[in-house]
Structure 1
Amino acid sequence: MHRITRSACLFQAMVILLMMFTLNSARAAELAGHIIMVKGDVTAQAADGSSRNLKRRDEIYPSDTIRTGTGSRVQIRFIDNALLALQENSQLSIHAYQQADADGKGGKVLMELVEGGFRTLTGSIGKGNKEAYRVDTPVASIGIRGTLYSALLAKGQLMAGVWKGGITLSSDQGDFNLGQNADFNFGVLGNTGFQGMLEAPQALDNADSDVMPDSMSTTGSENPDGSTPPPGTATTSPATTVLNNTSGDNKVPPPLDQDADSGHEDTLKEAGNLIDNTPPDGGDGGDGGDGGPVITSPDLRLSSEEFTAFLTSTSVGSIIVNGKAIPVSAFRDERGEPVFVSVDDNNGIDITRYSGTTDSTLLPEMADIAGIEWGIWNGSAEAPVSQLLEESSLVVTAVESPVMWVIANPALEGNIPTSGSVYFGGTQALGTDSKGNALLSASGNFDLDFATGIVSNGFLSADYADGSGSQSIGGNFWNADFTGTIRAGGANGKNTALVQMQFGTGYHGESSALDAVASQFSGVLVAPSGGVFAGSFNLIDMDGNSAAGIVVWPQQVRTGQF
């Protein structure tokens, strides 16, 4: 187990969890992405020559070659949240798709468009190191500068267009930039040279088209004086000699798929969180109809059904166990009871589960907007709370103290505001102290500035029973002030659902000061736009006493609104 102040952010922890599982020696291959939409005949051919028909939520691996038939298309969400829509009669080979390590090194995307075309919104790989991303074609290689772009092969030519950001087409005829800080947003490259364009040609703007009009190979191919430009010379027709604006922010093309049955997630968005939080379709994966294919578990502690549930779950939260508040991801076992997965100090995986029946509460005033659920596990010899702390080992460590927990679906990154100031506050709480005294009442509040991600003016007060069941008067009362942030790691400048707090001054009763370093407080923003805070705290005083609790505070608008 580990302290919140030394852990990665919650979403980073979830990535580590997935990596630790999938990097297990039992893994068949490293994941490159998942299918989010299929129409028609779409197949994937593996390196050994075997072929499989693709359907929604199927996995894609490095060394796969994806093929679409006539009237068919597919959309893929890659592990770095990139989206790619492959058009009909296309072939795309994935040679490498690798996330960077903790130091930002080793990330790599190498794909090859053999025929046809695609539109893509690139992900995190390549943003820091542009050399890490490349798409090869028979005509030229495509490099990125952080972008939304399209590419189409037809009649021995490569047509490309940039809707946001920039790309570079590299061939033996030279390097040609499109989009940001370039003269053109669109262009055609072939054996006769490069032709730059200011407007999207019809073939590229139409996501269903796979044919380049004959006129496209000749329009604007002559200089104003009638001479033919040498290969590699960027040209325009006399009517379009103005330079492109260099903002690199062009009109985004229509959705890649606008069919009524495709679902909202099939729109290639210019911005917003790209994590797929849609529950798996039922009955399409041979798992008894409860959603998607069952994947063989690489860890003895989880059954195949549990491992599948873990991979597809969107629930996150926090547990208080053995005196520590720990961020977790959560899924339901076959009984419908929550199982918690967390990361320890050595990046190992801990699993916490309960043999009894959970007496949990779905907070009624939050249920419609957030679905927040909380509870306390009071284990016994007959129904223990247990932890499995060693990977692929069924050795059980019993938990002797109550375990408190809260779970919910976090607000997506793209839905979290980037401006405005919000006040969170409330009295919803439950908890117990280290002597088994119940939390009688609690209240708290804090301000959150979405523009900076800074939490300020935080205050928490909690009153626990004094041992006789009656309310204490000063003797078992805790209070503390705190600050915090919703900027993951404090360096990437992005708001996340995770809220990390740091305590300042505080007291237990009338005499014992708070140990601000040892005490912990963290949580997540939930509901569609982060309108509710759900968190857990563990307070420790200088005499070694502790008190823990779960809080749920809705937002109260003060100086801004979203």
Structure 2
Amino acid sequence: MRIATMKLKLLLIFSVIWSLQISPVMASPTMAGKVISVKGDLQAINAENQARQLKRRSVFYEGDTLKTTAGTYAQIRFSDGALVSLKPDTEFYIARYNYQQEGEGKNWSIGRLIKGSMRAITGVIGKKDPKTYQLKTSSGTIGIRGTVYELALQKGLYVAVWKGGITIRNNTGGMDLGMGSDFNYAYVPDINTPPQGLLKPPAVFRQASVAPQKPAKTAQKTTTDQSGSAASDTSGDSVTTASSSTTETDTADVALDSGDTNLLSTDPVVSSDPTTSTADATGISITPDSTVISTGAVDQRLTSAELQAMTFVGLGIYAGANAPVFAGGLATDGSGGSPILTDMTAKPGDTNFATSTINDVVRQGGAALNASGSNSYYSASWGVWNGSQTPVEIQKDSTDPTVKVFWSGPLFWGTFQLPPAAAITARSGTTVNYSNVLGFIGGGSGGMVTSLNFNADINFSTGAVTNGSLIITNGDFWNMTFTGNLVGPRINTGGTVSGYVNSGGTPVQGAIPTILIGPNVEAIGGGFDLEAISNPNIYVEGQFTAECAGGRPAC
């Protein structure tokens, strides 16, 4: 009676949810700027890991990773006027960017040098609000107090300040360079080693952009000197703006390394936006970033308490056509309706599961909890977040919790506690049928899920999973079959999921991720993400739990 009442409540809730015909969409990327020039091969990799080739005048966006190959030099200009020179074999991630010349809205410019070398002039964003400009690396975070600086990741981080000043900050504290400081150059071996001041430009910087600034006083600290010669370059870079056919000299005096010295003068910016004018060379003051960046050993998206609470595994299914699914990552308890979910490179049953890389951390954020349920005996919880008003938050960068993308539609989730390994071993010699559906929650293009039947036979001696079927009704009729094998507590269906939707027999593809649950593996927790092969706009997603035939006492 209690199960029937819960099903009725869930059906009523989903009648309202799916009658709204919510269309899940990812937030549109923000245009960050344009390519001034490129000599060689320049690519942009977006948040979905899709690559596109960039050339002069190409647009790049927030969330893009810009990559240069060997021998490639590129110049880019952000919409606030900031200029960046990318050297060969460089990866530069535009983690967060927003610039609004007028009106409301927070301006941000947060980047990360993943590898390689770059030179930069800060733009308007840093001048208006210094705290909103940050440049991060694996060895530390750069806070800007000036305009022209250069970075190179080569067995650590080399830093040079040509004009103005910066602050390097990592786990050991901070160190100022340039603009009244003891040093203009530094080397930072890693995130846990203090920056080392250098008296000469490191050899990795083949020439100084301008005559080096004179230190404020004679250095009294122990330094590590790196060989390299300083060369004065008084010829400013040239850029041609779209509003003028004449060549203008950039007063910031950013000179490129030999090999790309003519790129700016031969590749004009094509834009009528006045915000793409030459960056101001004076007066930009950027305060240090207080965020400490990890080398990757610690995931900074999760607190110690959150990590310790991740004793469950999670399942997440984004609702909509062509929407992704992730299953089997560590998770916190979902009985309160707001678990923290992760998408990991390994899955339960894999030998490296507990220590594998976390790709994404998924949080409810401000999304509404439209429905949820739980079963205390099986330590199983499930629900749906509705991100249509305030989106679900997805943290993408293990070293920077502020790097996020957003999901503005429903997300079905489940959390389950893994059974003891001994319980699976104890089943050896038996074959168990799982077909007693305890509950389900789901919806799709045809509306809410009104009925669901599941069946699977598991041979605990061989690990074979046979006679798998999933039948769903939600306005559409879905009839699916599958086979598979046990990998620890996880049912691996491989590419065996197949079936059809509706009477015409339209072929269907998708996933039915499932896992054994319960202290004696009496049940299965799982989900489904299915769509018509010929028309992805016909789809259904959701969660379910099913006991062995006859219910728990019969198991």
Q: Per the shorter chain, which TM-score range?
A: 0.3 to 0.5
TM-score (norm 1): 0.39
TM-score (norm 2): 0.40
